[in-house]
Chains A and B, each alone.
Chain A
């Protein structure tokens, strides 16, 4: 399937108009594209997250796919149960976890790790807005170094967990990062994941205008700049082989940081420190890409 921008514009996948999402929500943009690629033969499992609210209150739903909401730490295990039941029933359905970063890198990591280790035939998606946005902007294990949140009012002092690499260490067949700023790259990764059997993991950088205080109209631009400044590199690890899927010409990190308030007040030295961290990661990825296999 070759997607064009017109395809993405005219079809919303399983996402209906009139949801309870905030304006400029990156997660809904990601869902539009992903669910369009995954198609109607897909079941979603959603742990506590913005997405449990985005669906809109009962008895309405903004999602036209079968979707089951589950408690915060349980998504990957619940999806395992759904998949195994379909296996017993002889049905071939895409079973997809659609989780936020808190439900993935923090409270959900145990169930995620278990499902990955068992090789459950599910696609686990983390839409990452880099904090607990549903409860009102508290730091998560995915919050970037130096970022402001309501529980890190002077900036986070720890590095975020490298979740895609943690999942890759489970030797699953497919791990990818994506960004709502690169919709075709994102769509292609879902296309690929859909065809692979076993545990697949896609980690999507997902702009959050209320949480980051970034302009509502610049969701895509912020997410694109994250990639172009090497803050959020786009790569995939297929059967142990890493490939950087988008290699943009590097732009100054400052351009990305300036579009949001959560990095406001960083000194030039601090920005330089961040820039250094970003480049180290990028060079490490280049190194991994050149090496025969990651695992």
Chain B
């Protein structure tokens, strides 16, 4: 389990591009959008300098980028692209099409706020709003995790029990443009871990002609959707297995569908995703120094959602503090909604406080997480849980409106 490969100090976007190269993807359709752009720039330079053997398609929109990835995957090769924000939203129609066709396309989504107003900074609204497209979604906390997870997710997505596309979601600028030391595995080790893609179901092949995607009547359609849902649920265990296999081979483990930090004896557990989870580890240490028994449950897989693991970790705690970086208007944070759904029908379901914060790149530091956790514990212990969710770090004049009785929920 010795860590082989080379160490480099690179950005999250470089890590994503290198992962695509190591995965030996064969077709990369690309359209630039901040803060994703450098991923497809790096890939273009890998290909043009002869370091990567792939076709690069300079398409005219994100809709076409995903459509071309669909065509390539349907023809039987591994495809990759990257996007963010409006680009992901423009793809939305074809995201459904990719998943419904059961094509294991890989995509890096560099999370960014959606407009209006224009804002290029981190926010999970873009990917969270594509939650029901049938794509696997994993949220990332470090540049190393970006690289490793793309390799792992191809293995999960291409498994005959899954056959769904995946998004590896990394926080805009916080990871995409931030340099960190990253171990780059050797190509031969990656090749052993991730063999060449060979579609087990169907592909576009004149030797064996089939038509795909024509009309399906009500007698047929529902079971097709059920099979997608089943595959999504099957991916839960597979993500764990592949993470374990990756650990055995490369010596690195970032968690499976979740990542747990000091939860064993915790009275209160913080639940969050992405880089806020890295900050939350520091916050947990701080709070523990102050004598509070707090742990962290990082949600890595948002789709499939790890309901069973979440329930197992959270039941019988004194309380749960969930921090979301996107808003489901009038309902709270998407993770908050899911976690509640995990807990509702189990005995020992704890009280939940959900915070929505960090939108449009507003900074969320470990100190903020300490403050939210303390505020949450205070609400739980003093029975001041009036609302399903709370906004955090609003400017004071807005905070006043938020807390006034005139804002109903």
A88 adjacent to B63 (CB under 8 Å) = no
* Known interface pairs A55-B211, A85-B27; A70-B70 also in contact (CB < 8 Å): yes
| B170-205 CB contacts (< 8 Å) to partner A | 204-205
A81 adjacent to B79 (CB under 8 Å) = yes
A137 proximal to B (CB < 8 A): no
**B212 nearest CB across to chain A (Å):** 5
**B38 nearest CB across to chain A (Å):** 22
Instruction: Produce 1/0 per residue, A142-172, CB < 8 A to B.
Output: 0000000000000000000000000000000
B63 adjacent to A74 (CB under 8 Å) = yes
Partner of B60, one of A52, A59, A66, A110: A110
Residues in B with CB closer than 8 Å to A71 are: 67, 93-94, 97
A57 adjacent to B214 (CB under 8 Å) = yes
Residues in A with CB closer than 8 Å to B213 are: 52, 68-70
A41 proximal to B (CB < 8 A): yes
**A68 nearest CB across to chain B (Å):** 5
**A70 nearest CB across to chain B (Å):** 6
Residues in B with CB closer than 8 Å to A20 are: 215
B68 proximal to A (CB < 8 A): yes
Residues in A with CB closer than 8 Å to B41 are: none
Partner of B58, one of A63, A68, A118: A118
A85 adjacent to B71 (CB under 8 Å) = yes
B407 proximal to A (CB < 8 A): no
Residues in A with CB closer than 8 Å to B58 are: 118
B55 adjacent to A87 (CB under 8 Å) = yes
* Known interface pairs A77-B63, A77-B71; A85-B217 also in contact (CB < 8 Å): no
Instruction: Produce 1/0 per residue, B45-89, CB < 8 A to A.
Output: 000000001110111110111011111111111010000000000
* Complex Cα spacing A74 to B206, Å: 22
| A63-79 CB contacts (< 8 Å) to partner B | 63-71, 73-79
**B101 nearest CB across to chain A (Å):** 8
Residues in B with CB closer than 8 Å to A77 are: 29, 59, 63-65, 67-68, 71
Can you name 10 extra interface pairs (CB under 8 A) apart from A14-B209, A74-B97? Answer: A68-B212, A73-B93, A77-B59, A81-B68, A81-B75, A82-B204, A84-B27, A84-B57, A85-B75, A87-B55
B residues in contact (CB < 8 Å) with A: 26-27, 29, 53-55, 57-61, 63-65, 67-77, 79, 93-94, 97, 101, 204-206, 208-217, 220
| A to B CB contacts below 8 Å, 19 in the list | A40-B206, A42-B206, A43-B75, A45-B71, A61-B210, A67-B211, A68-B101, A69-B212, A70-B70, A74-B67, A77-B65, A77-B68, A81-B27, A81-B67, A83-B71, A85-B75, A85-B77, A111-B63, A111-B64
